[in-house]
Chain A
Amino acid sequence: MTRYLDIYRTQLKTNIMLQLQYRAAMAIWLIDTVLQPLIYLVVWTTVARASGGQLVGFSGGDFASYYIILMVVNHLTFTWIMFVFEYNVRYGQFSFALLRALHPIHTDIAENLGYKVLSLAVILPAVVIMAVAFDAKWQPQLWAVLAFLPALALAFLTRFLLEWTLAQAAFWTTRVDAVNQVFFVAQLFFSGFIAPLALLPAPLRLVANALPLRWQLAFPVDLALGRLSWQQTLQGYAMQGLWLLATFALMRLVWRQGVRRYSAVGQ
């Protein structure tokens, strides 16, 4: 365990140093992070205003706090591994990762965390500005905020494992763009991004329950907002735990099959 802690500490430090070089680029990438939730926030507050200020239990201020917290959770849990993985496999760069006496996922997690630490410097001001501009309503309950933190950690882990597994599609096909896009569309609809899940038509809600996506985004968001009861919170944890086991097993399985197919092209 201390071995891993050491590895992570070192990786984190080097990654932060590395990424500090690209401060301007980082600010530009963050436009997307902020703009996407902002667009849906505007759409739904417009709809709420048109229907007399209230929509399925959401007022304009509720939508604001929902999408602001969603922006933060989405930012903290998102990965860019699919884009990097395909490149590394296609150009043989992946060989370097394989030479290390460490599963490559650890380096990727550390890199991800390093970026998140740095980029919070941009995300937090965006949160404040949006909260003021859209008159966000949020009365945090202490227990809900405390319960939110483990939910966030579980969301990060399951999402990372899932997307890391998906990225390995690059071992089999060079058409990962299409694979990724299918995933992104599913994520948009079933994670609570396009609309809070309560606003989706019933069949879509059923699909959302069966997929891991909502437990990676909508669940921690609803928890932080204090919209969940004790029972719902425990149920959410249980689902997150199940998906953690499932994605972990899937990652190991796909990795074992996939890495055999890797032939270090381009080296």
Chain B
Amino acid sequence: MSHLRLAWIYFRISILNEVAYRANFVVQLFQSLLSLGMAIGGLAIVFSHTETLGGWHPDELLALLGVYFLVGGAIGFVIQPSMQRLMEDVRQGTLDFVLMKPAGAQLLVSVRQVQVWKLVDALLGLGVLAVALSRLGGRVGVDQALAFALALAAGVAIVYSFWLALATVTFWFVRVDNILVVFQSMYEAGRWPITIYPSWLRYALTFLVPVAFATTIPAEALSGRLTPGALLGAVSLALVMLAASRWFWRRGISHYSGASA
């Protein structure tokens, strides 16, 4: 419980810092609407030539798009800025100030930096998801909703662990921020169901950079095409990755020598 409170305090401070720059909100809203319009326009062009894309109906792809924006917003809101700050701090030796605080360092570095306007993406994603759900209508029952929530939580946990592990690499190799560019590029591919990609790319998007777990699998859960086995697999992978990235983070931090602070 105290962990949650701590995270909330950090969020609040970051948000208070950001709301001073209200014009940023308008710009972000404009940019988010533009990229949403672009994505929907792309879907419209594709579906003007076909009924289904690799077995996915338009409304199901709309749901996928909603998940893509929702998870992308969550990543841009807290995961990416916090991890970038972590890497910067390791490089400059200023991580000392985090380690001195009497609280779990992993929690602190994970919630320290927030880009509050990225929540616009997440909210738009929720909106798109709501529209998609209303159009899918009766086909989404309680089972699917539960499976979706579970798959979404697992997806976010997997993405978080992946970023934490990547950022932890900074303790050994100081310059890895370019690796993060790889994630950004690959995440773009998650806008479409990964089942349409050739197998080598599918494997890369599942196991190399876990984009599939963040977007396709929750969307599959919603449309009821996710098998219980696959859901179980995603949840177990999430647990394993959370544990593994925590272990790796501890190895990293014991390697940290406070470079130049």
Contacts and interface: CB of A to CB of B under 8 A. Distances in A.
| A and B form one complex | yes
Interface in A170-222: 175, 177-178, 181-182, 185, 188-189, 194-195, 199-201
Interface stretch (A34-42, A234-242, A258-266): A34-42
A25 B180 CA distance: 11
A182 B46 CA distance: 21
B178 interface: yes
Interface in B48-85: 48-54
Chain A facing B: main interface SS? helix
A43 B46 CA distance: 8
A95 B188 CA distance: 37
A31 B182 contact: yes
Contact of A185 (B38, B49, B185, B191): B38
Contacts of A14: none
A182 B50 contact: no
Contact of A35 (B38, B41, B52, B189): B189
Interface in B15-65: 27, 30-31, 34-35, 37-38, 41-42, 45-46, 48-54
A133 B185 contact: no
Nearest to B180: A28
A50 B53 contact: yes
Nearest to B44: A201
B179 interface: yes
A39 B50 contact: no
Categorize the interface residue count of chain A: 20 to 34
Interface stretch (B96-104, B142-150, B196-204, B215-223): B196-204
Interface residues of B, number: 32
Nearest to B56: A46
Given A35-B186, A56-B49, A42 B34 contact: no
A25 B179 CA distance: 9
A177 B186 contact: no
Given A178-B31, A195-B45, A42 B50 contact: no
A195 B49 CA distance: 11
A200 B49 CA distance: 10
A35 B181 CA distance: 13
A186 to B, nearest CB: 10
B50 A50 contact: yes
A35 B38 CA distance: 18
Contact of A47 (B38, B53, B189): B53
B39 to A, nearest CB: 10
B196 A28 contact: no
Nearest to B179: A28
B45 A39 contact: no
A182 B33 CA distance: 11
Contact of A199 (B49, B51, B196): B49
B48 A39 contact: no
A119 to B, nearest CB: 15
A224 B88 CA distance: 46
B53 A35 contact: no
Contacts of A39: 188-189, 191-192
A256 B46 CA distance: 43
B50 A35 contact: no
B126 to A, nearest CB: 22
B217 to A, nearest CB: 18
Nearest to B23: A175
Going nearest first, the 3 A-B pairs with the smallest beta carbon separation are A32-B185, A47-B50, A28-B178
Interface of B: 27, 30-31, 34-35, 37-38, 41-42, 45-46, 48-54, 178-179, 181-182, 185-186, 188-189, 191-192, 196-198, 201
Interface of A: 24-25, 28-29, 31-32, 35-36, 38-39, 42-43, 46-47, 50-51, 55-56, 133, 175, 177-178, 181-182, 185, 188-189, 194-195, 199-201
Given A189-B41, A199-B45, 11 more contacts: A25-B178, A29-B181, A31-B186, A35-B188, A36-B188, A46-B54, A46-B196, A50-B53, A185-B35, A188-B38, A195-B46
9 contacts: A35-B185, A35-B188, A36-B188, A50-B51, A51-B50, A181-B34, A188-B38, A189-B41, A199-B49
